[in-house]
Chains A and B, each alone.
Chain A
Amino acid sequence: MTAGSWTVRTRNRIARIVPPGQWLPDRQPAYVSSWIYVFGVLTLAALFVVIASGIILTLGGVTWWHVSALGHFVNSLHLWSVELFFAFMVIHLWGKFFMAAWRGKRALTWITGVLAFAGSIGTAFTGYLSQTNFDSQWIGTQAKDGLNSVGIGSFFNVLNPGQMLLWHVALLPFVIGLLTVAHVILVRRHGVVPPIDAQPPDEPTPAPTPESPADLTARR
């Protein structure tokens, strides 16, 4: 084994993605002791239940919940974990928006979160199209007109239940999974964003900025 082998390079690269000890930290700055900082991990926990219940649903298929009490139960688990997932994610979004969470080189963290949110809406929509009932038919026909009117209806067909089901159970969860992993890695890399008036423990206190001539002029 040489120091220049690809395994060593990969290992070193992985180790450099986040600072040492930050992959699974056991200490956080004091300002993290707030319930608003809990909603990110609540969203992750709900996503875990969404994926687990979705995997179980694949055993019985999309019509399972119509004919089986167990299928109906698992389908309800899937639905209500999605409801919680979105509620937690939106509250997480509100908290981070009012914290201006893109500060401190965290723009990519913010962007991956926005993309994951938008992708989750699409994934939920394809789920509504996979209910195999009149509701899914109505939603599909209404959405078809809306999507065609904005010119993106030629790329996919919401009236094609096979295509929408594959998007729902394979393509979109894969994209959401990648975005979520990237989002969490970026949070670990840059740390959770501090409140606007808080001083992060690893950053020096900024020097006071000199008053600008405009300020002095306005004061006179």
Chain B
Amino acid sequence: MSGTYLHWGIIQISLTNALVIVIMLVVFALAILVPFNKSHDRGDRS
């Protein structure tokens, strides 16, 4: 089964792997930007 590959100069990556990397970057950004659930924060943390 041949997949779709992206070519950029000497860089060659499958579309699937490229999407996985993009999704990981999105999750990383969300982990920094999305506020943590305050119900988990008991408010007495030192």
Contacts and interface: CB of A to CB of B under 8 A. Distances in A.
Interface range on chain B: under 10, 10 to 19, 20 to 34, or 35 or more?
10 to 19
Interface stretch (A13-21, A26-34, A122-130): A26-34
Interface string B9-46: 00000000000100010011011101010101100111
A87 B45 CA distance: 30
Contacts, number: 41
Contact of A95 (B20, B28, B45): B28
A33 B28 contact: no
Contacts of B20: 87
Contacts of B41: 30, 33
B45 A33 contact: yes
A36 interface: yes
B24 to A, nearest CB: 6
Contacts of A95: 28, 31-32
Q: How large is the interface on A (under 10, 10 to 19, 20 to 34, 35 or more residues)?
A: 10 to 19
Contacts of B46: 27, 29-30, 201
A79 interface: no
A134 interface: no
Contacts of A39: 31
Contact of B45 (A29, A90, A94): A29
Contact of B36 (A29, A34, A201): A34
Interface of A: 27-30, 32-36, 38-39, 87, 90-91, 94-95, 201
16 contacts: A27-B44, A27-B45, A27-B46, A29-B45, A30-B41, A30-B45, A33-B36, A33-B41, A34-B32, A34-B36, A36-B28, A36-B32, A39-B31, A87-B24, A91-B31, A95-B28
